């Protein structure tokens, strides 16, 4: 089963680069350039339209939609709702990055609207963000429990069942869960947390892989594993005296040079 998941996840890369799907992002200005470039590097085409007058038309020709709560405002939230409803009509994956969702009432209320008014396919967040989502969806586990690493798997599955979508929690070990499946991804390194936007970029990769597979559980595994493998390759390439600036460049190089065999051979999943 593990090898089947790895083989299927890696095989998506070839289809992705053959079809160059359009990935529509409504994201934040901190990471928008990195998200566009990582989408190009993996072999897809990004569009970052966020005006209410065009998002419906734009998502109609896209193969996946990324919604990022990093810098919410009323105009952008309206655009996200328009795009999300159109994406649902078209049947394309919607990948939500609930950045800082538990930090403010605006972010939490916006997330609630998203889940009530559109069909989210994948949530990709860290443990604290996903904990906040479980809070509004009626989770049963206590805060002290779900912040412990050993509870993360059960928590991810509970949240996936309650939200009715794939949940990907990134961290020291990445967990991808659906109502019936769970996968642990053991790739990556601490340098990925040292540069801005790697979480947002990972969300973009999840959308890219999900856009051509439509089995969003495997798409999430593939996107998260690709970022982890790229992080390892980038770190290994560093010479003495090279730091985070060089790592950031090498990370993009590793994604653009990623091959199906590399992903399959280096992917560590259980």
Q: Domain 2-266 classified CATH 3.40.1190.20?
A: yes
Residue 256 pLDDT greater than 80, yes or no? yes
pLDDT tens digits for range 73-85? 999 999 999 999 9
pLDDT tens digits for range 206-233? 999 999 987 899 999 999 999 999 999 9
Best CA proximity match to 174, nearest among 188, 162, 192, 160: 188
Please, which pLDDT band fits residue 146 given cuts at 50, 70 and 90? very low
What's the mean pLDDT when you consider all of the chain? 92
Please, which pLDDT band fits residue 140 given cuts at 50, 70 and 90? very low
CA dihedral 39, 44, 45, 51 (to 10 degrees): -60
The confidence score (pLDDT) of residue 145 equals 40
Q: Which residues are annotated as a binding site?
A: 48, 124, 170, 197
The per-type count for the chain, helices as H runs and strands as E runs, is 12, 8
Q: How far apart are CA 247 and CA 136, in angstroms?
A: 38
Arithmetic mean of pLDDT, 114-127: 95
State residue 83 phi and psi, 5-degree precision. Answer: -65, -40
Residue 2 pLDDT greater than 80, yes or no? no
> What sign has the CA pseudo-torsion 65, 71, 76, 80?
positive
Q: Which residues are annotated as a binding site for ATP?
A: 124, 170
DSSP reduced 3-state for 72: coil
Arithmetic mean of pLDDT, 115-127: 95
Residue 163 pLDDT greater than 60, yes or no? yes
The confidence score (pLDDT) of residue 4 equals 87
Identify the helix (H) or strand (E) that includes residue 120: none
Other CB atoms closer than 10 Å to residue 150's CB: what's the count? Answer: 7
**pLDDT > 90: percent of the chain:** 84
Q: Which residues are annotated as a binding site for substrate?
A: 48, 197
115: Cβ contacts below 8 Å, ≥ 6 apart = 137, 163
pLDDT tens digits for range 32-72? 999 999 999 999 999 999 999 999 999 999 999 999 999 99
Arithmetic mean of pLDDT, 137-145: 43
Please, which pLDDT band fits residue 137 given cuts at 50, 70 and 90? low
Arithmetic mean of pLDDT, 188-211: 96
Q: How far apart are CA 256 and CA 42, in angstroms?
A: 5
Please, which pLDDT band fits residue 88 given cuts at 50, 70 and 90? very high
Arithmetic mean of pLDDT, 96-124: 94
Best CA proximity match to 129, nearest among 111, 142, 148: 111
Residue 37 tokens read as 């470039």
Residue 136 pLDDT greater than 90, yes or no? no
Domain parsing of the chain, residue ranges: 2-266
């Amino acid at each position: 089963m593990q090898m089947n998941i790895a083989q299927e996840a890696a095989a998506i890369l070839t289809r992705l680069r053959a079809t160059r799907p359009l990935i529509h992002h409504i994201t934040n200005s901190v990471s928008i350039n990195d998200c566009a470039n990582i989408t190009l590097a993996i072999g897809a085409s990004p569009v970052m339209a966020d005006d209410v007058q065009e998002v419906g038309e734009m998502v109609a020709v896209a193969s996946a939609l990324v919604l990022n709560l990093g810098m919410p405002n009323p105009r952008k939230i309206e655009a996200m709702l328009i795009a999300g409803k159109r994406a649902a009509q078209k049947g394309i994956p919607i990948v939500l990055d609930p950045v800082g969702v538990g930090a403010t009432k605006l972010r939490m209320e916006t997330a609630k609207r998203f889940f009530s008014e559109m069909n989210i396919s994948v949530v990709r967040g860290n443990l604290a963000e996903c904990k906040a989502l479980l809070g509004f969806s009626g989770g049963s586990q206590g805060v002290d429990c779900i912040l412990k690493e050993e509870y993360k798997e059960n928590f991810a599955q509970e949240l996936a069942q309650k939200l009715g979508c794939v949940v990907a929690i990134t961290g020291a070990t990445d967990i991808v869960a659906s109502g019936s499946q769970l996968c642990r991804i053991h790739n990556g390194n601490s340098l990925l947390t040292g540069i801005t936007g790697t979480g947002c970029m990972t969300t973009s990769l999840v959308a890219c892989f999900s856009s051509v597979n439509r089995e969003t559980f495997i798409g999430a595994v593939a996107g998260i594993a690709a970022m982890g493998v790229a992080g390892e390759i980038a770190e290994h390439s560093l010479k003495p005296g090279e730091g985070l600036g060089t790592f950031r460049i090498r990370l993009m190089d590793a994604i653009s040079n990623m091959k199906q065999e590399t992903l399959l051979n280096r992917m560590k999943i259980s």
